[in-house]
Amino acid sequence: MNITLWIIASLLALAFLAAGGMKIFQPREKLAASGMGWTEDSKSVTIKAIGLAEILGAVGLILPAATGIAGYLVPLAATGLAIVMVGAVTTHLKRSEKSMALVNVVLAVLALVVAVGRFGAGAF
């Protein structure tokens, strides 16, 4: 089970690092042109905050467990990312973007798998 959790957490971390990095380093207009239509309805600072949350969550999925320091942060990071994905699902459903909402549901479920798997005594 531990290896499975590491694989899921690693894949999630890569996905959220990429998504968060795009949101932080690309202007809102470029994000909208690349298919992230929801950015047209959001302020730049909101988009950057979401990107920062995704990057911090990605780091929180890996770094504490890898270093053995503050391992309790892993399930908290996973839970935080799942909450961010609930917001994403809501946004995409309001915009009738069902396929994007489905992607976010899958990411949320995977984050919750990591959270549940890493909560509890001896989870690391």
Q: CA angle 21-62-52, nearest 5°?
A: 30
Q: Which domain holds residue 57?
A: 2-118
Q: Is residue 70 part of a domain?
A: yes
Residue 124 within any structural domain of the chain? no
Residue position matching structure tokens 């996973």: 78
Domain assignment present for 112? yes
Q: How many CB atoms lie within 10 A of CB 44?
A: 13
In a domain, 123, yes or no: no
CA distance 59 to 21: 12
- Which residue type does 116 have? V
Tally of domains in the chain: 1
d(CA 84, CA 101) in angstroms, rounded, equals 12
Which residue in 40, 73, 38, 45 sits closest to 59, CA to CA? 73
Structural domain contains residue 76: yes
pLDDT (tens digit per residue) in 74-108: 999 999 999 999 999 999 999 999 999 999 999 99
pLDDT, one tens digit for every residue, the chain (124 residues): 889 999 999 999 999 999 999 999 999 999 999 989 999 999 999 999 999 999 999 999 999 999 999 999 999 999 999 999 999 999 999 999 999 999 999 999 999 999 999 986 555 5
* DSSP secondary structure, 2-36, as one string: HHHHHHHHHHHHHHHHHHHHHHHHS-HHHHHHTT-
